[in-house]
Structure 1
């Protein structure tokens, strides 16, 4: 790698590190070399070999195209998929969410953008009953976990299983400044999932249907509170700061659950696939393209956090009414 490309390579790695981490320390530890050797590689005085390039690119999930000036359209993604045929377990899926949110929150300048198709995944975890239902639904009906094949949903069996992880996810997201783009359809998928289990008698107890709907209603009311103040709040007295909250409404575009994160000038994009799975990339070209897409949608959407009280009340009234009408029909 040419010295100038090597310097650019290490400069980019530096943008991926939280402020409290030293680039030199990271490189020295990862490559098992001295601090002096790490400095010489970072300055381009000593060429990094192929094995070192491979190790660094793999660890930081980087595509080399931009540093080697290749014209390839290939983009490197790191997959975070949960399926019944892998050793990747659901508790690991939740731990990965915690790790990602912890990483994001470690930066000084940070912002998470969420283009909703559904209610953003993080909001479910503030309410154990709703989180238990969503986790059960994903495992039984999406992942097709064989151990769930004949199971019916019994709230008391599942509500405490991932409670600690759920609370952690909820609080970490409440700390992260975020902007969400909603559509009136965003609530519908969760409602349909509840209705499907009701119609197929997958709920073991009739009263659990009501409890799950009430959890969904509480989640919407909590989000409405965030929108009124422009601030999120944690579910526990954990001492974490409140993250700024912006919500936009777009009547014409239903999102695809893409997440984009700005971290001290760097960007990371999470692409949703297969309902609840994500793959991420730090590829500069792709992230810049996604950023432009987000900004265009935001310009064509209506902000309802703090401002536009009439539009905010109308949106949340209509959203809550969808849940309340189902509760009334039980």
Structure 2
């Protein structure tokens, strides 16, 4: 039977490290992985990324041709999770686990920074709001899965396994030492338009709409509090920028003790992840360029901040009346 890529990688590692050395601690140190994530790769439960294979090949002086049959020319490898769960919502389990691991590294680092940019609230920010998060999942399932035309919001529930992971994600996200968020004027309206669509189709009830509406108010209240204080709920530094330009897609940038990691959100369920430092630098340069067309509304620019926040609350208050699609 043909060997999988993981088996080929593991066999090459075993051949090239001292016999007395354990492969798991070796990979944990080299790839900066948690023990469970390492075991899952060794057991062939999740694939090594091409970036990880490249690090292994360089460290052990193994030709990439021997492992993946490709030339060892200069490339940047991207990581995209294989989504093959029988239960669609469980497809994002590995995505959340990856985010937890990255944020844990950021939190432990001496020098670190996270930058989030998007035309709707970043997924990491929304873990504090369970009903908005549930709607985002619901919309994704509605769009991508073969569900009935009248698949109601009330018929959808998030598995406890995912809810438990979201709690860990929230814990690690709140403990980021320095966070920058770049948003545009569509941050709230994009979510409201989506909710309105399903409400107008009678797939979301009046009471469910009010619950989501209440959380959107809470979301704006939290945003206002952070812009006033410059910190989040547990005291970590937060800077929020309001872009004058529309931000076309969401992205995340992580920096910790000289290491970088970037996520490009092509769609809701799974980001394209990059750990190559040069590629991450290009993305950070674009994020920094957004600031040239943005206003820092954290502890400054009170007039623009007030106009923005007041407009968001006005839109939320009229979300069942004025947003008709």
TM-score > 0.5, shorter chain as reference: yes
Residues 121, 57 of structure 1: CA spacing in aligned structure 2 closer, same or farther, 3 A cutoff?
Answer: closer
Give the structure 2 partner of residue 51 of structure 1.
none
In the TM superposition, 1:85-164 aligns within 5 A as 89-141=91-143, 143-144=144-145, 146=146, 151-154=151-154, 158=157, 161=160, 162-164=162-164
Partners of 1:193 and 1:172 lie apart in 2 by 28
Residue by residue over 1:114-151, the C-alpha shift from the partner in whole angstroms, topping out at 9 and shown as x without a partner, is 1212111122221222222222222222x31x467653
Partners of 2:97 and 2:20 lie apart in 1 by 33
Tell me, yes or no, if the aligned pair for 2:51 and 2:275 is still in contact at 8 Å: no
Residues 191, 82 of structure 1: CA spacing in aligned structure 2 closer, same or farther, 3 A cutoff?
Answer: farther
Residues 33, 264 of structure 1: CA spacing in aligned structure 2 closer, same or farther, 3 A cutoff?
Answer: farther
Give the structure 2 partner of residue 317 of structure 1.
310
- Structure 2 length as normaliser, TM-score? 0.71
Residue by residue over 1:5-31, the C-alpha shift from the partner in whole angstroms, topping out at 9 and shown as x without a partner, is xxxxxxxxxxxxxxxxxxxxxx99x95
Give the structure 2 partner of residue 12 of structure 1.
none
Partners of 2:207 and 2:49 lie apart in 1 by 53
1:180 matches 2:181: yes
The gaps in structure 2 that reach 5 residues or longer are 1-12, 31-47, 64-70
1:201 matches 2:202: yes
- Structure 1 length as normaliser, TM-score? 0.70
Tell me, yes or no, if the aligned pair for 1:117 and 1:257 is still in contact at 8 Å: yes
Tell me, yes or no, if the aligned pair for 2:120 and 2:188 is still in contact at 8 Å: yes
Tell me, yes or no, if the aligned pair for 1:175 and 1:232 is still in contact at 8 Å: no
Residue by residue over 1:277-316, the C-alpha shift from the partner in whole angstroms, topping out at 9 and shown as x without a partner, is 2011122221222222222222332111112222222211
Partners of 1:175 and 1:317 lie apart in 2 by 29
Quote the offset at 1:244 in angstroms.
Answer: 0.9
Tell me, yes or no, if the aligned pair for 1:63 and 1:283 is still in contact at 8 Å: no
Root-mean-square deviation (CA, aligned residues, Å) is: 3.7
Tell me, yes or no, if the aligned pair for 1:217 and 1:320 is still in contact at 8 Å: yes
The gaps in structure 1 that reach 5 residues or longer are 1-26, 43-54, 234-240
Partners of 2:99 and 2:279 lie apart in 1 by 22
Residues 272, 321 of structure 1: CA spacing in aligned structure 2 closer, same or farther, 3 A cutoff?
Answer: same
